[in-house]
Amino acid sequence: MLPLALLLSLAVAERDWSVEVVGKGEAIAVGPLTEAEAAAWKATPPKEPADVLAVFADKGDLAMLGSWKLDGRKVVFVPRFPLVAGVPYRVVVNAAKLPAAAANAQAVTTTVQLAKPPRGPAAVVEAVYPSVDVLPENQLKFYLHFSAPMSRGEVYRRVRLLDAAGKAIVDPFLELDEELWDRDQRRLTLFIDPGRIKQGLRPREEMGPVFEADRKYTLVIDAAWKDGDGEPLKAEFRKAFKTVGPDEKQPDFAGWKLTPPKAATTEPLAVAFGESLEQALAVRLIWVEDAAGKLVAGKATLGPAETTWRWTPDAPWVAGDYKLVADKRVEDLAGNSIEKPFEVDVFNRIQREVVAEVVRRPFKVER
């Protein structure tokens, strides 16, 4: 944890100044002003408050941008961006520029610094999805979950796909300039190059598919990958899997098996997909509505291999009619969505039309 405040007392010209870094670097407060100085500031704030209180990052010559305000008998500087732990900041208080300043007022300079928080355990790969160890040869993407925020720009050097002989597959991933991290930089979406999945496209014709049926592969995440603090992962991570033939069928929403809960309980609604679905979308884009079409507050979780889904309500179920709702973008491991397949064979069309943005299945909660 960062210290809530860092206090420094300065004695200049028989006057003590306190320089306080507030919170996690959101502001710097300097004081106390004399009653006359505070009253004069309140009545007529300085036209250039930076002349009174200026903050410089490290050895920089340009004062930080921000705003100034009076808080009781303290002058508070709020930087445009919070202070960074571990970086020294030079604080200059020019008391002579204060309204109603004393004749012997002098400038005071000091340095403050927020301590870096104690480092926790080394980052690890917490999970890789799909979690199942049998994947279709047209597998579309992986999700990598880390225990701490990770650095950018490392993905395509630190993740490899190996064949059964341990040889690295050349350029298996869709390499994007903007890596697909979540907001916390703890989950990465990693696409297999679609050009090597779709039949008839040049990358597949020239380089071949990334995966072939009835083969063994290993996804390797390098231990040298650095986290957001510049420290390497605790250990290398490996996910071994084998492949089967391509999956060209859409998720069969109408065929999902529903097991309704009992009224007056918080038992989950259980749903069996009959296949593994794409983890992130299944958690986010499937939910439950009551008879009035209102969302039933609760939490979605997936079972092993992402073949089952459970919705646990926040409050006990009330007997009556409900609907299981799925966004048409829900996909299986090969990128086939409820709306349409990822790849359509013109000689054997398998696409079904889905007009609505969502599809619904009724179910009943009995007493």
Do the domain assignments include residue 335?
A: yes
Angle at 160 between CA 155 and CA 161, to 5 degrees: 140
Nearest to 155 by CA among 218, 209, 217, 220: 220
Domain boundary among 82, 112, 142: 112
Do the domain assignments include residue 97?
A: yes
- At residue 318, the pLDDT reads 97
Do the domain assignments include residue 340?
A: yes
Query: What's the CATH number where 142 sits?
Result: 2.60.40.3710
Query: What's the CATH number where 43 sits?
Result: 2.60.40
Four-CA torsion 248, 249, 250, 253, nearest 10 degrees: -160
Phi, psi of 74, rounded to the nearest 5 degrees: -120, 145
Do the domain assignments include residue 234?
A: yes
Average pLDDT over residues 288-299: 97
- Better-scored residue on pLDDT, 14 or 252: 252
Q: 190: part of which helix (H) or strand (E)?
A: strand 187-191
Q: By residue range, what is the domain housing residue 336?
A: 253-365
Residue 216 CB contacts under 8 Å (≥ 6 apart), including other chains: 163, 164, 240, 241, 242, 243
Domain boundary among 112, 134, 166: 112
| Range picked from 27-36, 102-111, 342-351 for highest mean pLDDT | 27-36
Q: Tell me, yes or no, whether 161 and 217 share the same domain.
A: yes
- Say whether 297 sits in a helix, a strand or coil: coil
What percent of the chain shows pLDDT beyond 90?
69
**Could you give the CA distance from residue 34 to residue 12 in angstroms, rounded to a whole number?**
14
Per-residue pLDDT tens over the stretch 92-102: 999 888 888 77
- Which tokens in the block code for residue 355? 């007009």
Q: Tell me, yes or no, whether 213 and 294 share the same domain.
A: no
**Could you give the CA distance from residue 361 to residue 321 in angstroms, rounded to a whole number?**
11
Residue 294: pLDDT above 80? yes
Q: Tell me, yes or no, whether 297 and 337 share the same domain.
A: yes
Query: What's the CATH number where 329 sits?
Result: 2.60.40.1220
**Could you give the CA distance from residue 294 to residue 290 in angstroms, rounded to a whole number?**
5
**Could you give the CA distance from residue 202 to residue 208 in angstroms, rounded to a whole number?**
9
Average pLDDT over residues 269-298: 97
Per-residue pLDDT tens over the stretch 167-186: 999 999 999 989 999 989 99
Do the domain assignments include residue 64?
A: yes
Q: Tell me, yes or no, whether 134 and 183 share the same domain.
A: yes
Q: Which of 11-25, 61-75, 91-105, 141-155 is predicted least confidently?
A: 11-25
Give the confidence band of 311 by pLDDT, cuts at 50, 70, 90.
very high
**Could you give the CA distance from residue 248 to residue 138 in angstroms, rounded to a whole number?**
9
Chain CA centroid to CA 334, Å: 24
- At residue 356, the pLDDT reads 57
- Mean pLDDT taken over the chain: 89
Per-residue pLDDT tens over the stretch 105-117: 788 888 888 877 7
User: Structural domain tally of the chain?
Assistant: 3
Q: Tell me, yes or no, whether 132 and 238 share the same domain.
A: yes
Q: Tell me, yes or no, whether 33 and 133 share the same domain.
A: no
Q: Tell me, yes or no, whether 168 and 94 share the same domain.
A: no
Q: Tell me, yes or no, whether 105 and 130 share the same domain.
A: no
Q: Tell me, yes or no, whether 206 and 298 share the same domain.
A: no
- Better-scored residue on pLDDT, 84 or 249: 249
